[in-house]
Each structure stands twice: as C-alpha cells, then as structure tokens.
Amino acid sequence: MTEFDEAALESHREAGEVLTTVMGETREMIEPGVTHLEVAEYAEDRVRELGDGLAFPVNVSVDAEASHATPAREDETEFDDEMVCLDIGVHVDGYIADAAVTVDLSETPELVEAAEEALAAAVEAAGPGVPVGEIGAEIEDVIEAYDYTPVYNLSGHGVQRFDAHTGPNVPNRGVDRSVELEPGQAVAIEPFATDGRGKVGEGSKEEIFELVEDRSVRNRSARQALEQIREFDGLPFAARALDTSRAEMALRRLTQQGIVKGYPVLTEEPGRLVSQAEHTILVREDGIEVTTRGLFE
C-alpha cells in the first residue's frame, strides 16, 4: 500500500467531516436525565442522514466502562453525574472515520484533559515511518504527568474499507517500536486515561455484534436475523438495530454457531473512571492529515 487514491481520500475526508458535525451536535445533548438511547439514536440518525452509514454502533460508555457499550432496545438508563465517553464511527463508501470525545458530568475534568492532551501529543508525533511505540510513549508520558494511568490493554488501530478494526496497532504505552506507520494507512488513535489500574476486562453486557462467517442456518428466526445482519456489510452492529421479534434468541444462536461474534463491554474495576479522546488520521507520504480535526475546538 502506498498513497490514497483520490476517491478514497475524498471519502475519508467526507466521513471525517460528517463525524465532526454529528459529534458536535450530540455531545451537547449529554446531561443528567437524558437517556443513553436518545443520544445514541440521535447520533445514528444524523450519521445516516449526512453520511453513507455507521461504521459501528454509537458507543456510550460511562464511568468504568471504556469500550463496546451501546444501549439495548428500550434501554431507559439516564445519564447521571458520570464520566461519559461518546465514540462514533462513520463510513462514506466504506471509508471510515472513528472518533471519540469525553463529556465529564462527574467533576473530574483533569481526566478528560489527560486523554485530550495525550491525543494531541500522539497526533503531533505521528507521521510516515514513525514507530507506533513512539506514539504510545507520548501518550503514556502525558497521562502519567497527570498522575493517571493509560489503559494499557486498549490501543488505537487501523481502519480499512468496510473494516473498522485492522492493523497497525497503536499502543497506549511505549512498547512495540518495530512497527512503523506507512503512507496509505488510515489510523484511529485513541488514548484512554483512568484512575484505575490501566487494564480493562470483559463485562457481562454484550450489545454489539459482528458477522464473522456467513453460513446458512436452519432456524427461522436466526435466518431472518442473518438476512438483516448481511446489510451491515461486515461492520459491527447493535442488537437493537435488528428488527425482528426474537432478535435476542437469534443472536444467541448465531453466536453459538460461530456465525456472529459478540463484543462484551470492556470495563475498568467498579468505582474507577475512564476517559477517551480519539481522532482518525491519514498517513500520507509527506505527513499526516487528521480527518476529524475540529473535534476538540
């Protein structure tokens, strides 16, 4: 892979602009008493209006939750005085922008600053030929200077056409100096900062799924669900996005058969807080381009 062709470049840029607009609108909605579902559905509707579609369901993570949380159908959970991470993915013609902001309702603004400043330092350090571990070291240094800990077992990642999660991995610490960023890569850089131990584990909730192996199924409700799942072009989808009466059972069946895979919510220990800041960058021959710039202004 060398550079982006013109069409890919235009689609990446458009995805980034749509995402920046939607994020700007959506983050303003987050306040106590508003439900997670209202926020997620608003953002998802706007993404579909302005772009081609979602690259993954809108993630709404609170407090110890770091990733893969999205409301269930008819979820009535409201925001409280919490740390709220909003992570949105947009695609235009399959080309993906992935970005996140944190809205602090918990009166812990330094934790948000730590993630945002780490992201700024990471973007500043990024470029063609730069080892990913060097970017990770920038992230780690900034977050530790705030006396917080990066979440070590989460990392930034490449995005490819219709694939929201590919290489290269961009660690949130100064390891892995062998892999370098290369021109033609689109990369989501996402520092997470926490007052916890810096390690997330799998929680019990699972609301995000992805088609991993398309095979025929005999069961009627599973077959109906699979027909809808094919519409997501292999991208992750929310259980609530399935419009069938027995979606939950169908998903369980499809998961057991290895056709669909679930993404459990990833969380720090209870009582801890996690913040996140994320941009998507394009690595070019002569530097980088941030497709989601303007997100933190």
Q: Give the active site residue among 14, 52, 113, 278.
A: 278
**Active-site residue, from 116, 157, 195, 279:** 157
Q: Is 81 a catalytic residue?
A: no
State yes or no: is 98 an active-site residue: yes
68 included as an active-site residue: no
Order the strands of the 274-276 sheet from edge to edge.
149-150, 192-194, 274-276
Nearest to 99 by CA among 152, 51, 36: 51
Which residue type, as a one-letter code, is found at position 40? A
Q: Please calculate the CA angle 94-96-102 and round it to the nearest 5 degrees.
A: 150
| Greatest pairwise CA separation for the chain in angstroms | 56
Choose the binding region for Co ion from 12-20, 87-95, 144-152, 214-222 (rule: CB under 5 A): 87-95
Which of 190, 206, 207, 268 is labelled catalytic? 190
Site for Co ion contains 87 (CB under 5 A): yes
List 17, 65, 82, 98, residue binding Co ion (CB under 5 A): 98
Instruction: Render 181-192 in DSSP notation, one character per residue.
Output: --TT-EEEE--E
Question: Least distance (Å) from Co ion to the CB of residue 78?
Answer: 23
Catalytic residue list contains 279: no
Please enumerate, as own/partner, the contacts of 27-33 that have beta carbons within 8 Å and a separation of 24 or more.
27/86, 27/101, 27/103, 30/79, 30/84, 30/86, 30/103, 30/105, 31/79, 31/105, 32/78, 32/79, 32/80, 32/81, 32/105, 33/78, 33/79
Whether 176 is a known active-site residue: answer: no
Taking contact as CB under 5 A, which single stretch among the options 22-30, 43-51, 100-108, 169-177 is the one that binds Co ion?
Answer: 100-108
User: Cβ(173)–Cβ(155) under 8 Å?
Assistant: no
Convert residues 258-287 into a mask of x (bound to Co ion by CB under 5 A) and - (unbound). --------------------x---------
Name the segment binding Co ion (CB under 5 A); options: 93-101, 147-155, 209-217, 281-289: 93-101
* Residue number, 52 or 87, with CB nearest to Co ion: 87
CA 147 – CA 194 distance, rounded (Å): 9
Is 52 or 226 the residue whose CB approaches Co ion more closely? 52
As a whole number of angstroms, the distance between CA 248 and CA 239 comes to 7
Mark the segment that binds Co ion (CB under 5 A) among 81-89, 108-116, 142-150, 241-249. Answer: 81-89
> What are the residues binding Co ion (CB under 5 A)?
87, 98, 100, 278
- Catalytic residue list: 87, 98, 157, 165, 190, 278
